[in-house]
Amino acid sequence: MFFRKLPGVSASGMGLRLSQKFVFLLFLSGLVTLCFGALFFLPDSVRLKRIFLSKTDNPPVTVGSENGVRDHTKKTIRDPEHLRGITPGKGETSTKLKSLSRKPSDAYEARTAEKTAESRVPEVLNQARGINEAGRARDAATAPEKQTASSGRVEHSPAFDYEKFKKCLLKPPLGTEQGKPSDPPTLQRRDKVKEMMKFAWDNYKRYAWGKNELRPLTRNGHIGNMFGGLRGASIVDSLDTLYIMGLMEEYNDAKEWVENSLDLNTNGEASLFEVNIRYVGGLLSAYYLTGEEVFKRKVLELGEKLLPAFNTPTGIPRGVINLGSSGTSWSWGWASAGSSILAEFGTLHLEFVHLTELSGNPVYTEKVMNIRKLLNKIEKPHGLYPNFLSPVSGNWVQHHVSIGGLGDSFYEYLIKSYLMSDKTDEEAKRMYYSALQAIEANLVQKSPGGLTYMAEWRGGLLDHKMGHLACFSGGMVGIGADDGAPEKRQHYLDLAAEITHTCHESYSRSATKLGPEAFRFDSGAEATATRLSDRYYILRPEVIESYMYMWRLTHDPKYRQWGWEAVEALERHCRVEAGFSGIRDVYAASASHDNMQQSFFLSETLKYLYLLFSDDELLSLEDWVFNTEAHPLPVIRRGCLQEQEETPPQ
């Protein structure tokens, strides 16, 4: 009745065809559902996940150029997103990648590349398991708080005793008279650095309060996409700097914002590295310096959100994590074959050990010790650690080695893990000196002009380039000089001084007296940037960091003088009406500004300058190590804490 009868086709024949169509449609719908599910659960299908997962106010995380964490990077890796469109090949992320520390690098010299799939079948199975494991990991992270079946009350692990911790410090954190230097000229210079910090902070507060960073030329805030919806990066990064400088009104404003406005319940895609070094490091440091419980509470909540990044077949965390309830993680789209970055997964140890200290939960230490266990197991080419490692297979993906972006803070954290353990972590010590020996044998070079530098290694071929991020290594080699073989102490101090001198030359050979992002030692060039894309300066701290360490180790007045030259250059070329800005070309007499006051300028650059012009007892190196974002973390004196527990109260 509803279907017109076709000539020559019986009613029964039509009924058969309808049945066939129904079966076919049922099969087709099942096939579509199966394909959809398979695509959705592929661990590296980042674009598909972004379509179906909850959206945030921020665009997806993208990283464009390599150099860094750090940054950082560092520094891992910090690829200045404000340089997009200024220099060819620069990406859009402001990483230290110290890497993104170090300090999150040639501000990630990477070319935005399509992710190359590894073997999908085992990874899909592991990802499916990982969905359930993410829930178990969150349960494990809260293990110290177990529900008592009978009463329903929460049973907490023993609380961290802040007063006992303070008694284990050899010196007061702020030293005598807050580290005031005895000679008036040095005090005057320190006061100038303090004024620079207040100027930078006041303008951030006026024009960008609650945002991640200040754009001083346009006088507005910048959010970016590194932190997965977290806000106030400049606030959290500045807490300890404000406190040690005695800017208490500003510190109290920052503390109030953290207590009332730092929202950790975000659902965005964040750099594990950058969140760890800036937010986790900043909150830990603020707690240890002040004892304010709000910082402890916030950092433990945030630390738990990072644990699902470790849900991989090897336990090597992926670089990007959703901070929301899904806890999904994946590798950077530009990283070779979905690999994780050495400077990112190698720059977690200091902070995670302290998360265990404060929470009583061993899971944080277990996660980073698992990373170390894998690195000790696999073969290192010529004793070197390449920058890319597969979190699926646990094998190196490329044989590119750098002490600058992509690798830098991994080495820094080895020697600092040893120092932070009160020199009991013998494994970290062994790994550091073994790596340093390989670096000296393969990467350390001497230029025709007599400058010592660290080249990069690409599968056996040397690239005679040194990044600004690699200039932290002068300080690193210096602080480790006392703990290697006694007969090599002077050798390491000399090497540290030579590297620091080379990095100073990269500053002194520019028109602005500020150093470029990278400088070369080939084709007749010495400590100068030969490529237009390497000529920028984004307020980086690494050279000044080495000045500070070398001053404390040697008290050679040239390091304070070099630091003061940097202050004068920053004032002349980077200070604008509403803050400080990086510049596009250090060789141009007339500065062209990039309109970004990086949070690490407040956390690192100004802090290291302030310490350089302070008495050595201000944050004494006997009691404190600095994470790769310059956040001071205390040496853990286990024996001292145990003695206090065993001593009955008077």
Phi, psi of 300 (to 5 degrees): -70, -35
Phi, psi of 147 (to 5 degrees): -75, 125
Give, for 198, the enclosing helix (H) or strand (E): helix 184-208
Tell whether the model's pLDDT for residue 498 goes beyond 80: yes
* Residue 21 belongs to some domain of the structure: no
Torsion sign, CA atoms 309, 311, 317, 318: negative
Instruction: Give pLDDT tens digits for 316-358.
Output: 999 999 999 889 999 999 998 899 999 999 999 999 999 999 9
State how far the Cα of 454 lies from the Cα of 342, in Å rounded to an integer.
Answer: 17
Q: Residues for the chain: how many in total?
A: 650
For range 445-462, the mean pLDDT: 96
State how far the Cα of 158 lies from the Cα of 142, in Å rounded to an integer.
Answer: 13
Of 376 and 155, the one with more pLDDT = 376
For range 180-198, the mean pLDDT: 98
Sequence-ordered list of residues with C-beta below 8 angstroms from that of 22, at least 6 positions apart, any chain: none
Position 23 confidence tier, pLDDT thresholds 50, 70, 90: low
State how far the Cα of 192 lies from the Cα of 197, in Å rounded to an integer.
Answer: 9
* Residue 401 belongs to some domain of the structure: yes
Q: Helix/strand/coil (H, E, C) string of 608-636?
A: HHHHHCCCCCCCCCCCEEECCCCCEEECC
State how far the Cα of 63 lies from the Cα of 270, in Å rounded to an integer.
Answer: 12
State how far the Cα of 270 lies from the Cα of 61, in Å rounded to an integer.
Answer: 7
Sequence-ordered list of residues with C-beta below 8 angstroms from that of 32, at least 6 positions apart, any chain: none
Sequence-ordered list of residues with C-beta below 8 angstroms from that of 487, at least 6 positions apart, any chain: none
User: Looking at residue 19, what is its pLDDT?
Assistant: 60
Instruction: Give pLDDT tens digits for 25-56.
Output: 666 666 655 554 444 344 333 333 333 333 33
Which of 79-88, 247-256, 367-376 shows the lowest per-residue confidence on average (mean pLDDT)?
A: 79-88
- Cβ-in-10-Å burial (0-12, 13-18, 19+) of 123 comes to buried
State how far the Cα of 340 lies from the Cα of 348, in Å rounded to an integer.
Answer: 13
Number of folded domains in the chain?
A: 1
User: Looking at residue 33, what is its pLDDT?
Assistant: 57
How many helices, marked H, and strands, marked E, lie in the chain?
22, 21
Maximum separation of any 2 CA atoms in the chain, in Å: 111
Position 461 confidence tier, pLDDT thresholds 50, 70, 90: very high
Strand 388-389 versus strand 456-458 pairing type:
unpaired
* Residue 29 belongs to some domain of the structure: no
User: Looking at residue 3, what is its pLDDT?
Assistant: 33
Q: What is the pTM of this model?
A: 0.81
Of 638 and 512, the one with more pLDDT = 512
**How does DSSP assign 365-410, residue by residue?**
HHHHHHHHHHHHHS--GGG---SEE-TTT--EEE-EE-SSTTTHHH
Percent of the chain whose predicted confidence (pLDDT) is above 70 = 75
DSSP 597: B
Which of 99-108, 170-179, 423-432, 479-488 shows the lowest per-residue confidence on average (mean pLDDT)?
A: 99-108
State how far the Cα of 9 lies from the Cα of 45, in Å rounded to an integer.
Answer: 49
Q: What are the b/e assignments for 254-274, b being 16+ CB within 10 Å?
A: bbebbeeebeeebbbbbbbbb
State how far the Cα of 341 lies from the Cα of 77, in Å rounded to an integer.
Answer: 10
**Which residues make beta-bridge pairs with 398?**
388
* Residue 108 belongs to some domain of the structure: no
Of 416 and 62, the one with more pLDDT = 416
* Residue 635 belongs to some domain of the structure: no
State how far the Cα of 198 lies from the Cα of 192, in Å rounded to an integer.
Answer: 10
| CA-wise closest residue to 305 among 134, 53, 145, 159 | 134
Does the N-terminal peptide bond of residue 194 adopt cis geometry, omega within 30 degrees of 0? no
* Residue 38 belongs to some domain of the structure: no
Structure tokens that stand for 512 in this block: 């602005």
State how far the Cα of 30 lies from the Cα of 42, in Å rounded to an integer.
Answer: 19
Of 8 and 261, the one with more pLDDT = 261
Neighbours of 301 (CB within 10 A): 13
Instruction: Give pLDDT tens digits for 520-544.
Output: 999 899 999 999 999 999 999 999 9
Judged by DSSP in three states, 420 sits in helix
Neighbours of 542 (CB within 10 A): 33
Does the N-terminal peptide bond of residue 75 adopt cis geometry, omega within 30 degrees of 0? yes
User: Looking at residue 322, what is its pLDDT?
Assistant: 95
Position 24 confidence tier, pLDDT thresholds 50, 70, 90: low
Range of the domain at 210: 189-626
Contact 566, 544 (CB under 8 A): yes
Q: Domain with 374 in it: what CATH number?
A: 1.50.10.10
Instruction: Give pLDDT tens digits for 286-320.
Output: 999 999 999 999 999 999 999 999 999 999 999 99
Instruction: Give pLDDT tens digits for 542-564.
Output: 999 999 999 999 999 999 999 99
* Residue 574 belongs to some domain of the structure: yes
Mean pLDDT, the chain, whole residue set: 83
* Residue 584 belongs to some domain of the structure: yes
Contact 561, 186 (CB under 8 A): no
State how far the Cα of 254 lies from the Cα of 232, in Å rounded to an integer.
Answer: 9
Q: Among 81, 92, 269, 517, which one carries the catalytic annotation?
A: 517
User: Looking at residue 87, what is its pLDDT?
Assistant: 35
Q: Is 385 left (phi over 0), alpha (psi -120 to 50) or beta?
A: beta
State how far the Cα of 499 lies from the Cα of 484, in Å rounded to an integer.
Answer: 18
Instruction: Give pLDDT tens digits for 118-162.
Output: 333 333 333 333 333 443 343 444 333 333 322 223 233 457 999
Known catalytic residue at 456: no
Instruction: Give pLDDT tens digits for 596-643.
Output: 999 999 999 999 999 999 999 999 999 999 999 999 999 999 989 888
User: Looking at residue 459, what is its pLDDT?
Assistant: 86
